Amino acid sequence: MKEEHVKYLEEIAGQDKVLTDIEDKICFGFDSTRLQYLPDVIVKVKDSRQISSILKFANEYKIPVTPRGAATGLSGGCLAVNGGILLVLLEMNRIYYVNPIDLLVEVQAGAITVDVDKAASKYKLFYPPDPGSMKTSTIGGNIAENAGGLRGLKYGVTKDYVNSMEVVLPTGEIIDIGTRTVKSVTGYNLVDLMVGSEGTLGVVSKATLALLPIPPARASLLALFNNLTEAAKTVRDIVAEGVITATLELVDNVTINAIEDYLKIGLNRNVGAMLLIEVDGQQGSVDIEAEVIKKVCAQNNALSCKLAASEKERDVLWSARRAALSSLARIKPSTILEDATVPRSRIVELVEAVNNIAKKYDIMIGTFGHAGDGNLHPTILTDLRDKEEEKKVEKVIEEIFIETVKLDGTLSGEHGIGLTKARFLKLEISDEVYKLMKKIKHALDPNNILNPGKLFVD
Amino acid sequence: MPKTKISEKDDELFSCSRCGACLAVCPVYKQTLDEGVAPRGKLSLIEAAANNKIAISEKLSQKIYTCTLCNYCTKECPSGVKVDELFKAVRGDLVESKKYPEVLDYLKSKIEKAYNITFDTNQGRLDWITQQPDAKFEDYLKETADVLYFVGCVSSFSPRSFPIPRSITQIFKRAGVDFTLLGEDEWCCGFPLYSSGMKDEIVRLADHNIRKVKDKKVKLLVASCPSCYHTWKHDYPKVANEKIDFEIMHISQYLHALIKEGKIKLNAINARVTYHDPCDLGRNSGIFEEPREVIKSIEGIDFVELPSAKLEANCCGGGGNLEYLDPGLSSKIAEAKASEIIGTGAEIVVSSCQQCERTISTALKKKKGEIDYRLKVMDISELILQSML
Ligand SMILES: Cc1cc2nc3c(=O)[nH]c(=O)nc-3n(C[C@H](O)[C@H](O)[C@H](O)COP(=O)(O)OP(=O)(O)OC[C@H]3O[C@@H](n4cnc5c(N)ncnc54)[C@H](O)[C@@H]3O)c2cc1C
Ligand code: SF4
Ligand code: SF4
């Protein structure tokens, strides 16, 4: 990067907001994939006008620009693979207002997810998309990845809560899209085009998000099973019985043992799988739904199905689920978390396929995840410093993807394609669709300066 | 340039998955939103230096030292990375490489010359006694006793902390505790240097202090400063040549014991009270319950927890020498803590650390213009003494 370019960026954002030292580049050069690519310059922006000026400048000199939130991404989306400018949005973290009548909150893109939920909770409202990273991740990152969470089955994912937003287009124009209304059919649905576009079609600067009232009652259940297949069948049957649970999480034996090693809360180490289930709503319906779930569990030979008797018991259960990934992470130096997703009816097959792959390659895989929405997290435990292992892992991942697609599934339920899954994209989408996506990208970003190297390999 | 030794910690460094959980709790990151000083960012720098990808620069050093050593990152880390141990080890390497903040040399020279962290001679350790109208030295400096009270540099030299040793010694007198002090023979425990990576100096200080305490033939040493306590309890046994043959307690534990034994009679105080866990006492030494039980044993107190307490307590900003290295940042952290305290609606915030007490008081004063509140900051010993009177 030329010195005068850095100077110009300093004029836009302020001298102390532009970093070029190697130490800063290293710290801003990774995300939660642990891959590392150094940007040429880091700019911490304050508002959409600054973003716009930077993008216009970048177009003029053909400098790549990569948006970055909190860098908790799991597909390498915020890595500056071609160097250039890393656009850091963390300081744009204002939460403007909560509107308890329209059930809306307006925020800047750098606001931390959990802070938005906290602001809503003052009005007895909540922001439903709750990714495991919500204490650190930004709303902008959530929108760009269309992040999901534990409550996806009943409450959906980020796209279901973005009403409108301010976006800076790759060429620098600042636009407002969407509405503050519950519904709208005015022109193309550009909001949904932007959500999940992984920072390749525009930089989100502000968003108006929908909120929901906190349900008055809830009940949590823990069901234990001999094997994964029976647990997965139960997932299917609960929904078939007409119960849409807030959460329906599956944890396999490898993961149960890892959690017990870590938390020592008395989980039964010998069971094949467990389901953690929560229903919420009005007290009466919660009670009825809990009964239905117990019945379905019994029909599927559950070893036990218990209702958490107190809030404390409930907290223990959910702390166990939340600790799933952490507990696995303690077993081996490297953990690779995938997010293969299939239609709910095919969960059993996916679980079996993953187990077979683990056996075939003699590699440890712990599986847990949002079984209710068909989104599992097969987690590969390994040591990537070992080059042989690294090669093996690549094959394992590829086979998981191939099996997933065969089951009418999708490569990524919530973590995005980004850098790490780009080479698999064509496994799932046809050449025509691939071309269409590239056309859209080209229409919005003719110079390919916004987050190049992501989604598409060519 | 001397190479880092960090490569020995390869496994520990590699275990960090960069998940970012530590960012959500790090006081330094929360105030700066700068990955360059976040726990995860610092680890990435250490890893790069260990693999010789970058030199050990001033800039790297500055980032590593931008840390209160509050240890919340380690507590939060899902992968079990011992972040604090890495940071302390690296501070040692930075000292070896002569890349450390200048202010540490100044601190070191003070401690080497006068055995305390001020410019005063060590006789100044007695000022808080002599400035009391009817104080008699012989009450404080007995040849032998059951209990030795280790006052610590800040409480000995900083007049605004004098109420702490005064309260403690008064409580002891009223409770009939046979106690003594080291007086001029008390040397800095070594924590300010040790935690900054100057690992060698502490041995001489430790050996001297242990010998002097042993001379007093005490059964128990009590410290009111959590960092002194932590150093005595957890570091001296590792570094000193002298063996410790007495018990070591923090004042909150000892007060708890005295109350349980019925040696202290407490009168009611009608107030809403909250408690701030000092990092070196709580997260770093595991002492959470005793101070709370001490406070709750006073009738009339309506005890409220802070939103983040015990293992999850937020740092006051005063730790890790950050106050010397980046006063602006330190006070921003303190102000966030002050807002949290005000939010509880408490009338008294109790701490059991002279440093926290000071940082919190200063931050609260700054808030005075913005928010209307009635709040008193008290050390646990001050609260107990007040309820005894
Ligand atoms: C422990 C852990 C648990 C996780 N759990 C979940 C989970 O349950 N569900 C889930 O969906 N994800 C999960 N994730 C993945 C990750 O947290 C999400 O993808 C999150 O949305 C990323 O947000 P971020 O702010 O960190 O974005 P970053 O990682 O900084 O960026 C992610 C992508 O968004 C783009 N971007 C960021 N900000 C903007 C903006 N303002 N405008 C345009 N583009 C932008 C970047 O260019 C990049 O492509 C988890 C990650 C970890 C480490
Ligand atoms: S919480 Fe632990 S594993 Fe995660 S980024 Fe921080 S140090 Fe690394
Ligand atoms: S010890 Fe505290 S201040 Fe230092 S990096 Fe960890 S959390 Fe941040």
How many Cβ atoms sit within 10 Å of the Cβ of residue A284?
Answer: 9
Could you report the per-residue pLDDT of B282-300, keeping only the tens digit for each?
999 999 999 999 999 999 9
How far is Cα B23 from Cα A71, in angstroms, rounded to an integer?
Answer: 11
* Residues B313, B347 contacting (CB under 8 angstroms): no
User: What's the gap in Å between A39 CA and the centre of ligand 1?
Assistant: 18
pLDDT of residue B137: 84
CA count, 13 A, side-chain hemisphere, B250: 30
Residues B191 and B171 in one domain: yes
Contact B78 A135 (CB under 8 A): no
Under the banding of pLDDT at 50, 70 and 90, the label for residue B7 is low
Which string of DSSP letters, residue by residue, matches A332-385?
SSEEEE---B--GGGHHHHHHHHHHHHHHHT-EEEEEEEGGGTEEEEEEEE-TT
Q: Give the ligand with the smallest distance to the CA of A135.
A: 1
Confirm whether B110 is domain-assigned: no
In chain A, which residues have their Cβ closer than 8 Å to the Cβ of B329?
none
For the domain that residue B46 is a member of, what is the CATH number?
1.10.1060.10
* Residues B346, B270 contacting (CB under 8 angstroms): no
Could you report the per-residue pLDDT of A264-313, keeping only the tens digit for each?
989 999 999 999 999 999 999 999 999 999 999 999 999 999 999 999 99
In chain A, which residues have their Cβ closer than 8 Å to the Cβ of B18?
30-34, 71
Give the least confident one: A68-77, B94-103, B184-193, B308-317: B94-103
CA-based Rg of chain B, rounded to a whole angstrom? 21
Contact B44 A26 (CB under 8 A): yes
The domain total for chain B is 3
Tokens of B29: 């990151």
Confirm whether B370 is domain-assigned: yes
Residues B203 and B324 in one domain: no
Contact A71 B35 (CB under 8 A): yes
Please provide the average confidence, as pLDDT, over all residues in chain B.
93
Residues B177 and B222 in one domain: yes
pLDDT at B206 over 90: yes
CA B184 to chain centre: 22
* Residues B333, B368 contacting (CB under 8 angstroms): no
> Strand A203-210 and strand A162-168: pairing?
antiparallel
**Domain final residue pick, B81, B96, B111:** B96
Average pLDDT over residues A150-166: 96
How far is Cα A317 from Cα A221, in angstroms, rounded to an integer?
Answer: 9
> Strand A217-225 and strand A203-210: pairing?
unpaired
First to last CA, chain A: 24
Pick the residue whose CA is nearest to atom 6 on ligand 2.
B22
**Domain final residue pick, B202, B228, B257:** B257
User: What's the gap in Å between B89 CA and the centre of ligand 1?
Assistant: 32
Q: Chain B within 8 Å of A333 (Cβ-Cβ)? A: yes
* Residues A58, A64 contacting (CB under 8 angstroms): yes
Pick the CATH number of A3-88 from 3.40.50.1220, 3.40.50.11720, 3.30.43.10, 3.40.50.970: 3.30.43.10
What ipTM did this prediction achieve? 0.94
Q: What is the largest CA-CA distance in chain A?
A: 71
Cα angle value B297/B286/B220 (rounded, 5°): 70
Q: Which residues of B touch A (CB under 8 A)?
A: 11, 14-15, 17-21, 23-24, 33, 35-36, 38, 41-42, 44-45, 48, 53-54, 57, 59-60, 63, 78-80
Q: What is the largest CA-CA distance in chain B?
A: 64
How far is Cα A220 from Cα B211, in angstroms, rounded to an integer?
Answer: 59
Could you report the per-residue pLDDT of A141-151, keeping only the tens digit for each?
999 999 999 99
pLDDT of residue A183: 84
Residues B188 and B152 in one domain: yes
Confirm whether B104 is domain-assigned: no
Under the banding of pLDDT at 50, 70 and 90, the label for residue B119 is confident
User: What's the gap in Å between A93 CA and the centre of ligand 1?
Assistant: 15
DSSP-based three-state secondary structure for A132: coil
* Residues A247, A372 contacting (CB under 8 angstroms): yes
How far is Cα A68 from Cα A293, in angstroms, rounded to an integer?
Answer: 42
Residues B221 and B339 in one domain: no
Partners of B147 in the β-ladder = B179, B220
Residue with tokens 């508002």: A47
Confirm whether B113 is domain-assigned: no
Question: Taking Cα atoms as reference points, which of A156, A134, A171 lies closest to residue A52?
Answer: A171
Confirm whether B280 is domain-assigned: yes
Tokens of B389: 């009177």
> Strand B301-304 and strand B271-275: pairing?
parallel
Question: What pTM was computed for the model?
Answer: 0.95
Residues B182 and B209 in one domain: yes
Q: Which CATH class is domain A95-213?
A: alpha beta
Q: Chain B within 8 Å of A457 (Cβ-Cβ)? A: no
> Chain B residue closest to A68 (CA)?
B35
Average pLDDT over residues B249-257: 98
Residues B242 and B309 in one domain: no
pLDDT of residue B5: 61
How far is Cα B65 from Cα B84, in angstroms, rounded to an integer?
Answer: 12
How far is Cα A97 from Cα A118, in angstroms, rounded to an integer?
Answer: 12
Residue with tokens 């085009």: A193
Residues in chain B: 389
Q: Which CATH class is domain A215-327?
A: alpha beta
Residues B274 and B357 in one domain: yes
Confirm whether B107 is domain-assigned: no
User: What's the gap in Å between B28 CA and the centre of ligand 2?
Assistant: 15
Q: Whole domain around residue B192: which residue ranges?
A: 120-257
Confirm whether B111 is domain-assigned: no
Q: Chain B within 8 Å of A261 (Cβ-Cβ)? A: no
Domain boundaries, chain A: 3-88, 95-213, 215-327
Confirm whether B235 is domain-assigned: yes
For the domain that residue B250 is a member of, what is the CATH number?
3.40.50.1860
pLDDT at B270 over 50: yes
Under the banding of pLDDT at 50, 70 and 90, the label for residue B1 is very low
> Chain A residue closest to B47 (CA)?
A26
How far is Cα B330 from Cα B105, in angstroms, rounded to an integer?
Answer: 20
**Domain final residue pick, B257, B277, B294:** B257
Complete edge-to-edge strand list for the sheet that includes strand A85-88: A18-19, A41-44, A85-88, A65-68
DSSP-based three-state secondary structure for B101: coil
B59 closest CB neighbour out of A23, A93, A385: A23
Q: Chain B within 8 Å of A31 (Cβ-Cβ)? A: yes
Residues B124 and B235 in one domain: yes
